């Protein structure tokens, strides 16, 4: 990480089917070993499965799932006088969305089952219904921030 200047934010192009940058971000985090077309196939099949099961707009289901998983606060390690404190900080919108997508995909990968399409669609549906591993992860982060509220004065 460079100490001289911060990196510029890259422009994210919206995907061709849903015309959404959120979908592009999720596909980019889903891909492994540069196989973007495979990641797109997995994602679009998962969205089709969500549409068939809920009879709702799958993009709205995805947006609500990401909102349900997005953390409001997180803890960061801060070294003060020889000891390290877990300091609670508010999460910026971009970082919150990024964390939510990362947690959704990680929890989808750790689900039992064989095919990624069903694992991803089930995890998105669970997040939409405020259940599932990704929502549990957010709750755990919020609990840690609440427990370390006393060190909020060390915020930087």
Indicate which CATH number applies to the domain containing 33.
Answer: 1.10.455.10
Average pLDDT over residues 106-129: 95
Domain count, the chain: 1
In a domain, 12, yes or no: no
In a domain, 40, yes or no: yes
Average pLDDT over residues 112-121: 94
Under the banding of pLDDT at 50, 70 and 90, the label for residue 152 is: confident
Full residue range of the structural domain in which residue 69 is found:
21-154
Whether residue 27 has pLDDT greater than 90: yes
Whether residue 151 has pLDDT greater than 90: no
Q: pLDDT tens digits for 41-98?
A: 999 999 999 999 999 999 999 999 999 999 999 999 999 889 999 999 999 999 999 9
Distance between CA atoms of 129 and 114, rounded to whole angstroms?
23
Whether residue 33 has pLDDT greater than 90: yes
In a domain, 7, yes or no: no
Under the banding of pLDDT at 50, 70 and 90, the label for residue 34 is: very high
In a domain, 13, yes or no: no
In a domain, 14, yes or no: no
Whether residue 18 has pLDDT greater than 90: yes
In a domain, 60, yes or no: yes
CA dist 79 → 76, 127, 144 (Å): 10, 35, 17
Distance between CA atoms of 65 and 71, rounded to whole angstroms?
12
Under the banding of pLDDT at 50, 70 and 90, the label for residue 1 is: low
DSSP for residue 32 = -
Distance between CA atoms of 68 and 128, rounded to whole angstroms?
7
In a domain, 47, yes or no: yes
In a domain, 85, yes or no: yes
């Amino acid at each position: 990480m460079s100490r001289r200047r911060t990196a510029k934010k890259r422009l994210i192009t919206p995907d061709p089917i849903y015309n959404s940058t959120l979908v592009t971000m999720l596909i980019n985090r889903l891909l492994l070993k540069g196989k973007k077309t495979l990641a797109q196939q997995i994602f679009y099949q998962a969205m089709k499965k969500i549409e068939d099961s809920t009879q709702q707009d799958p993009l709205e289901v995805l947006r609500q799932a990401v909102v349900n998983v997005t953390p409001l606060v997180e803890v960061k390690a801060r070294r003060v006088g020889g000891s390290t404190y877990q300091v609670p900080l508010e999460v910026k919108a971009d970082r919150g969305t990024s964390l939510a997508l990362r947690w959704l995909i990680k929890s989808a990968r750790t689900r039992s089952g064989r095919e990624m399409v069903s694992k991803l669609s089930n995890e998105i549906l669970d997040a939409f219904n405020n259940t599932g591993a990704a929502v549990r992860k957010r709750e755990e982060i919020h609990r840690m921030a609440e427990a370390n509220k006393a060190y909020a004065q060390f915020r930087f």
